[in-house]
Amino acid sequence: MRIATSPADGFAWPRWLLLAALLGGNAALAVSPWAVRLADSGAVSAGFWRLFLALPFLAVLARFNGERLGDVHRAALVPVLLAGIAFGFDIASWHIGIEATRLGNATLFGNSGSLVLMVWGFVILRRLPRIGEWTAILLALVGAAIMMGRSLDISTATLVGDLFCLTAGMLYAIYLLLLQDARAKLGSWGLLFWASLAGSPVLLGIALMRGEPVWPTDWTPVLVLALLSQLLGQGLLVFSLRHFPPLVIGLALLTQPAIAAAVGWRVFGEAIGWVDVAGMLLLGLALTMARGTRDQRVAPPDRPQVS
């Protein structure tokens, strides 16, 4: 079966290719915390290089897709730059959390923006949650309590890492809300370019305040991080997301914590018990339900989870 990418050109991509791109993008993002752990420049510094090194490539991709970076009205650019600042704080918080907690936890909590957007929708629309939404909230609370309780069993620092990753998910929701009206004006690659440009100095400033060594002695981890997160992961998801409903995107998102937890167990010896698996499944199911039930009037179309 084939699917048209746009009504304008009528070109069609095979469904299997779109699905492979969706899963491949999630897999690339799931592996990127491994590179954060390996970077000798510091976790937040690695985030700076992640954005900064990708800028020229994002500019080329925007140009290739007909998105003009230099011809942007100030009214459209201001919210994008503010979103980029939130994006910078999002990555900083997530990378700090990656250092402290288990990779599976970091990935799940870092993707909690879907739940935040769902709850924000109740406030904007002035309505109470429906049954499915109440279920998602309850599953999220139980799953998060289990995961955080297990983190506290390991150490207080691990629990703090969970909280940093959860904060990153909230910041990512703010990033998406600020971009609510800008995507149609700038395009996906234009948004990523300007957000990365605004987020880079935020990350550099935080890294310097933390006393991190900004300049790496081994460039391989930061180059891999920029490739996996900002180019390969983002690129595949930008290419594929518009062809799938939110529920399918939410189900594909579940591959991220599974892969990250496997990397944490295999590479870093992070133990995973049945209680951990239960907590991750509950929270993952809640995130999937949140994407499937979220009211699209209060949030932009699903975009790649970059944090």
Residue 177 has pLDDT above 60, yes or no: yes
In terms of residues, how long is the chain?
307
pLDDT score, position 184: 64
Tell which residue, 39, 76, 50, has the closest CA to residue 204: 50
Instruction: Determine the average pLDDT of the residues in 54-59.
Output: 91
**Residues forming a β-bridge with 12:** 4
> Which pTM does this prediction carry?
0.86
Taking the C-alpha atoms of residue 180 and residue 186, their distance in angstroms, rounded to an integer, is 12
Which range (7-11, 68-72, 197-201) has the least confidence? 7-11
Task: Using the predicted structure, report yes or no on whether residue 274 has a pLDDT greater than 80.
Answer: yes
Average pLDDT over residues 51-58: 93
> Does the pLDDT at position 283 exceed 90?
no
Of 297, 87, 76, 301, the C-alpha closest to 182 is 76
Task: For residue 14, give the 3-state DSSP assignment.
Answer: strand
Q: What integer pLDDT is reported at residue 154 of this predicted model?
A: 85
Q: Which residues contact 251 (CB under 8 A, 6 or more apart)?
A: 288
pLDDT of residue 302: 41
Question: Could you count the other beta carbons within 10 Å of the beta carbon of residue 14?
Answer: 11
What letters, b where the CB count within 10 A reaches 16 and e where it falls short, cover 203-215?
bbebbeeeebeee
